[in-house]
Structure 1
Amino acid sequence: MIKKTFRSFQNKKILKYFLAILFFLMIGCVTYSLKSPINELNNKRKYTKSEIRKILYKADVLFDSYHLDESYNYYNQAQLLCDIDNDYIDYVYALTCMASVEQMQGDFVASEVLLTKTLPHLKKIKKPRFAANVYEQFGANYYYTYDYNNALLYYQKSLHLKISTYRKIVVLNSISQIYLKQGKIKLAESILISLSKIKTIYEKDKYINDYEYARILDDLGLCYDEQGKPEAIEYYKKSLAIQLRLKDNYSLLYSYLHIAEYFQFSNPQKAQHYAKTAYDISSKLNDAPNKLQSLKLLTKTSEGKSLKEYSSKFIQLADSIEKSRKTAKNQFARIKYYSKKDRDENLQYKAEKAKNELQLERQKNRNIISYIILFFTTMFSLFLYCYLTIKGKKEKNDAIFKSEIRISNKLRAELAHDVYQTLTFTENIDLTKEDNKEILLNNLDAIYARTRTISKENSAISTGKNYASALKEMISGFKTPELNILLNGFDLILWDCVEKNKKIILYRILQELFVNMKKHSQATLVSINFKITDKTLTIIYNDNGIGTKNSTPNLKNGLQNVENRIKTINGNIIFDNNSEKGFRLSFTFPL
């Protein structure tokens, strides 16, 4: 009996092992069947390093001739063809060039996203110039978005690398510009004076040497100009003389603008001459931002018909720049989308072909189970891929459409009337009179300020360590001599523990509330209370503006967005309809 029991136990154990081995063999067979076509496909790369670099060479030629759209397309093709484990140098180079194009088009967020993709590969590249290039582009992006602390951080990271003396001088010059923006003028002056004493900046090319030396002199003039020192014009003119000899139109453009700004108050006629020269050069180069700056100086230094002409051109160009930037951004998005789509389709086709060939070779060794599993797995993956692709594309298009409609409505509501009134004013009023001229300039400044406000309302939101200061800065931007804002409990919140998407929603909700208050409330005092109870954040908003007793808030005037946003993070919102004077609401959401 004991022997039979033992044998039975042995048989069950053997059967268990046999089934386990059979199961793992089946899984191994299926896995091999699925993976081997991909491995074979990877071993037979269609594009070699030399072919990828030919594409990069085409992109470089187009970039150097300022055909940015076409060069971006080729850089994108090259980075998609790179095997990042082997071609990481070409991959990093292509991404940094794409980031440079995005930066030149004013899309600093997209540029930063591309640069971030290069960071994991920089340690594998022995040449420090690649890392330096990435850090300097990061610094420039932060500089152009007024985040001077982060800009300084990345320029200093570049400076600590083992780069050439020439490159260190260029970085130091950029750092001096940050100090100027931060008001550290003496520190910027000390750097620029030291650099101006270096006669040989770049030994291998006299043109580059003179170009950088002229740039240093121009920046030193700018530094003295900020301090109101008369020697500024001497450095401007020294720099201009070198640039005229070099015939570098971009450098000349900035020199003429700086000299025009220097003379705009002391000698408007001379300032007008330099601004007109800058305008002609920027028109020749098709440099819209500097063309706009030239027109702004011309409106400040002109009178009569000339003032009317330049003002009209300024408004038209400002509208055109905004439109072209949106078009360029959409164009680059389409290039990336369709390039990825083409690559995925080609890879899918090649994988299917390789898989079929290998299946024929191993057909005798396969059983029915592996075919069934392979068939259903492929069908399910294809269905899931198609479903997610269509859904993602639809959601993305819907989001873009809604965002464009909202921005379009805001521009039409807040700017169209003012622009029309300004144009009507310039047509019917004598602009030779100082009072009328002053009114026109004030109107243009107001339009420019509103445009910047709309841009800031739709800009990216920092959700990192600087989130609390960014939120406070946004709120303080609504403060005026007639309006006081009180924050209670703000500094007690551990903002680092709040999820990224909830930070963005909270930022936008408060922004909507303040915009709505500014338009409709007529309030002179606003208080916001922050408190955490049972892992739930509660925000109570009060103002002493127009009350809502016996009425419901007008959700169509901005508050509808508040309600929609809070629902996306499982929050609740309560409107107080019993306030005789003032407006009050509270909303909560889980942390």
Structure 2
Amino acid sequence: MKNYFLLLICMILLSCKKENKKNFDESIAAKLYNKAKVFRNSNVSDSAFIYYNLAKNAYLERKDSLGVGKSLVNMAILQHNKQDYYGSIETSLEANNFLRKIDDSTTRSTLASSFNNMGICSSYLYEFENSILFYNQALKYVNIPSNKYLYYNNLGDVLITLGKYPEAQKNLSIALQTKDSLKYATFINNMARAKYYENPNYNPLPEFYKALKIRQDNNDLQGQNSSYATLSIYFFDKDKIKALDYAKKMLEVAVKNNSKEDQLQALQKIINLDKENYLENFKKFQALNDSIQIARSKAKNQFAVVRYDVEKIQREKAEKEIEGLQKNFGIGILLIILIGGLFLYRKRKKRLEQEKELEVKNTQLKMSKKVHDVVANGIYQVMTKIENQEHFNKDEALDELEFVYEKSRDISYEKTDNQGEEKDFSEKISETVSSFKNDEVNTYLAGNDSGTWKHLSTKNKEEVYQIIRELLVNMKKHSKATIVSFRFERENDLIRIFYTDNGIGISGDVIYKNGLSSTVSRIETINGEIIFDTKIEKGLKITISFPAS
């Protein structure tokens, strides 16, 4: 954050005069809000966030709930754009508390926008059920047709992710009433996806190509990225050459659009499709992933520091007004008391500022260490195997890359490997199983609660976690399954894991050659037993049992 921004803010705040205070406060609040809009429209998000926060404080002084709510919603959207999803939801919730106090057209529209933002953030955090709830709340308050169509589309998109295709099509059919050509391209693309996933015999390509052409005609780079991603996924199992071509186009547009997230997604697809240039693309992925994780961490700290600095300036302004009031009263004893109190306050404030600065620095150092230890060391280990082993299996490298990517995503959400609490271990299992869910594979969990894992040692928890992850990797590599389920059961001092998928299955004589030998070894380590049911007509069924200690 630049010092001249803070200097400008100080000049604005400290130049206030008390004549005609009500009208002046209204004028300064509106000027701050409009200044924030200018910065936001110019993509200067740091300055926009500062001025929205200043406007919020000015509206608070005027007791203008709508002004406060609008400022907070815009701050939440800026946080969402910087991938600070938890912080964005928190700011939206704060905005909702002010917006619910009044009921008029503008307030309802702003409240709808706030709920839509919370729905989007929840989707990025894989909290899809919460996302559906927030989108439904947005539709309850929306009173602008163009926004209504957008919210129906967003709801439909989440329903596609959850595999609820008929319900998704119902919402998307409403969204398709839009008159906006770019939004129509998005909506028709999603509708085609829903129809294709429901019926694999349906041909979605005419809609996919139509959406892409609209986006190309309008030079919509972000929309083109979405189309290329959709087409690459569609051709992945049908035509590897076309799939790779669309992935490369996605990367090219993402670079032009300076969208690092889209570049990362494109590189993931290219790594899986372009075996000849695997190592080169792998190094690009490594460097880009490191920069994204560090940028996310800085963004979270930055927004926290901005709010702290602006509120500090507001306190200093209040102190100036108190000093002026003291002079007007001219009461010596009161003046001495206030000066003494002000001295203690400033001393305490200075201590708090130093603690806050130290906290931010420690957070940055901690995050840098995490990125180095978890991401850099993990990727270096894979690269060493590739370079030093003549017959190294590239599929194994892809598996290890996926594990490293999961670890880097955990860093961005500030999670740790230490699962000391049962609730954290349950969440870790849930997130791992959910991470293997995509447009082609649905995963289901049952019985994954804190009671199941109670008193299980930390060492055995880690072995159980690795077992579950190995089953999922094996499923992804070999089974061609579309439905995968885990059910956990605890009876007295025995825990059972029931794994089922609807893939091609494996015969008894190839089980130990199919990537599961490590799983069997882990189960033996925790004094457990594993049973493979190879007699079922289709798919794979595994039962694992071990002591609950």
Superposed displacement of residue 474, structure 1: 3.9
Equivalents in 2 of 1:392, 1:119: separation in Å?
29
* Pairing 1:304-323 to 2, within 5 Å after superposition: 304=276, 306-323=277-294
**2:329 equivalent to 1:329:** no
Q: What residue in structure 1 maps to residue 37 of structure 2?
A: 60
Question: What TM-score comes out, normalization by structure 1 length?
Answer: 0.66
**2:382 equivalent to 1:422:** yes
Note closer, same or farther for the CA distance 1:264–1:308 as it changes in structure 2 (3 Å cut).
Answer: same
- Aligned with 1:113 (options 85, 90, 97): 90
Equivalents in 2 of 1:408, 1:150: separation in Å?
31
**2:408 equivalent to 1:438:** no
- Aligned with 2:230 (options 255, 258, 267): 258
Q: What residue in structure 1 maps to residue 519 of structure 2?
A: none
Equivalents in 2 of 1:303, 1:522: separation in Å?
27
Counterpart of 1:83 in 2: which secondary structure? Answer: helix
Equivalents in 1 of 2:408, 2:491: separation in Å?
27
Note closer, same or farther for the CA distance 1:299–1:510 as it changes in structure 2 (3 Å cut).
Answer: farther
**2:338 equivalent to 1:338:** no
- Aligned with 2:458 (options 493, 514, 532): 514
- Aligned with 1:69 (options 35, 43, 46): 46
* Pairing 1:255-404 to 2, within 5 Å after superposition: 255-304=227-276, 306-356=277-327, 358-360=328-330, 371-380=332-341, 382-383=343-344, 385-397=345-357, 399-400=359-360
- Aligned with 1:143 (options 123, 136, 160): 123
Letter in 1 for 2:162: Q
- Maintained 8 Å contact 1:84/1:91: no
Q: What residue in structure 2 maps to residue 560 of structure 1?
A: none
CA RMSD across the alignment: 4.1
- Aligned with 2:135 (options 149, 155, 158): 155
Equivalents in 2 of 1:488, 1:269: separation in Å?
44
Equivalents in 2 of 1:247, 1:52: separation in Å?
36
Question: What TM-score comes out, normalization by structure 2 length?
Answer: 0.70
**Which has the greater radius of gyration?**
1
State percent identity of aligned pairs.
23
- Aligned with 2:406 (options 434, 438, 449): 449
Q: What residue in structure 1 maps to residue 204 of structure 2?
A: 232
- Maintained 8 Å contact 1:275/1:298: yes
Superposed displacement of residue 489, structure 1: 9.3
Counterpart of 1:211 in 2: which secondary structure? Answer: helix
Note closer, same or farther for the CA distance 1:164–1:45 as it changes in structure 2 (3 Å cut).
Answer: closer
Counterpart of 2:250 in 1: which secondary structure? Answer: helix
Equivalents in 2 of 1:266, 1:113: separation in Å?
43
- Aligned with 1:134 (options 105, 114, 118): 114
Superposed displacement of residue 173, structure 1: 0.8
- Maintained 8 Å contact 1:102/1:108: yes
Q: What residue in structure 2 maps to residue 573 of structure 1?
A: none
* Pairing 1:182-197 to 2, within 5 Å after superposition: 182-196=162-176
Q: What residue in structure 1 maps to residue 511 of structure 2?
A: none
Superposed displacement of residue 107, structure 1: 0.8
The range that moved more, 242-251 or 88-97, is 88-97
User: Structure 1 runs of 4+ off > 6 angstroms?
Assistant: 467-471, 475-479, 485-489, 519-530, 543-547
Q: What residue in structure 2 maps to residue 503 of structure 1?
A: none
CA displacement 1:242-262 (0-9 Å, x = unmatched): 111222111111111111111
Counterpart of 2:393 in 1: which secondary structure? Answer: helix
Superposed displacement of residue 473, structure 1: 3.7
CA displacement 1:503-535 (0-9 Å, x = unmatched): xxxx9x999x637852899999999999xxxxx
How many pairs are equivalent?
A: 446
- Maintained 8 Å contact 2:79/2:87: yes
Counterpart of 1:82 in 2: which secondary structure? Answer: helix
Note closer, same or farther for the CA distance 1:182–1:308 as it changes in structure 2 (3 Å cut).
Answer: same
Superposed displacement of residue 398, structure 1: 5.3
CA displacement 1:190-232 (0-9 Å, x = unmatched): 3324544x3xx24xxxxxx111211111111222343434422
Equivalents in 1 of 2:360, 2:260: separation in Å?
25
Note closer, same or farther for the CA distance 1:521–1:159 as it changes in structure 2 (3 Å cut).
Answer: closer
**2:67 equivalent to 1:90:** yes
Equivalents in 1 of 2:384, 2:58: separation in Å?
55
Note closer, same or farther for the CA distance 1:216–1:545 as it changes in structure 2 (3 Å cut).
Answer: same
Note closer, same or farther for the CA distance 1:448–1:183 as it changes in structure 2 (3 Å cut).
Answer: same
CA displacement 1:461-514 (0-9 Å, x = unmatched): xxxxxx9987744467799xxxxx9999949xxxxxxxxxxxxxxx9x999x63
* Pairing 1:12-27 to 2, within 5 Å after superposition: none
Q: Which runs of 5+ in 2 are unaligned?
A: 1-16, 434-445, 469-487, 494-522, 528-546
Superposed displacement of residue 436, structure 1: 3.4
Counterpart of 2:320 in 1: which secondary structure? Answer: helix
Letter in 2 for 1:95: L
- Maintained 8 Å contact 2:116/2:138: yes
Counterpart of 1:160 in 2: which secondary structure? Answer: helix
- Maintained 8 Å contact 1:526/1:544: no
Equivalents in 2 of 1:56, 1:450: separation in Å?
39
CA displacement 1:378-425 (0-9 Å, x = unmatched): 423541x33543454455455555555555555544444331122234
Letter in 2 for 1:420: Y
Equivalents in 2 of 1:523, 1:283: separation in Å?
38
Equivalents in 2 of 1:115, 1:521: separation in Å?
35
Counterpart of 1:295 in 2: which secondary structure? Answer: helix
Note closer, same or farther for the CA distance 1:70–1:404 as it changes in structure 2 (3 Å cut).
Answer: closer
Equivalents in 1 of 2:309, 2:431: separation in Å?
41
CA displacement 1:65-84 (0-9 Å, x = unmatched): 32222222222232233235
Equivalents in 2 of 1:487, 1:278: separation in Å?
38
- Maintained 8 Å contact 2:185/2:214: yes
* Pairing 1:425-504 to 2, within 5 Å after superposition: 425-427=385-387, 436-455=393-412, 458=415, 472-474=426-428, 490=451
Note closer, same or farther for the CA distance 1:387–1:526 as it changes in structure 2 (3 Å cut).
Answer: farther
Superposed displacement of residue 104, structure 1: 0.9
- Maintained 8 Å contact 2:182/2:215: yes
Letter in 1 for 2:310: S
Note closer, same or farther for the CA distance 1:77–1:179 as it changes in structure 2 (3 Å cut).
Answer: same
Note closer, same or farther for the CA distance 1:529–1:62 as it changes in structure 2 (3 Å cut).
Answer: farther
CA displacement 1:101-144 (0-9 Å, x = unmatched): 10111111211222222223213251221111111112222222
Letter in 2 for 1:248: D
Superposed displacement of residue 289, structure 1: 0.7
Q: What residue in structure 2 maps to residue 211 of structure 1?
A: 182
Q: What residue in structure 1 maps to residue 217 of structure 2?
A: 245
Counterpart of 1:314 in 2: which secondary structure? Answer: helix
Superposed displacement of residue 53, structure 1: 2.7
Equivalents in 2 of 1:341, 1:181: separation in Å?
44
Equivalents in 2 of 1:240, 1:272: separation in Å?
17
- Maintained 8 Å contact 2:229/2:246: yes
CA displacement 1:50-70 (0-9 Å, x = unmatched): 443333333223322322222
Q: What residue in structure 2 maps to residue 179 of structure 1?
A: 159
Equivalents in 1 of 2:128, 2:548: separation in Å?
38
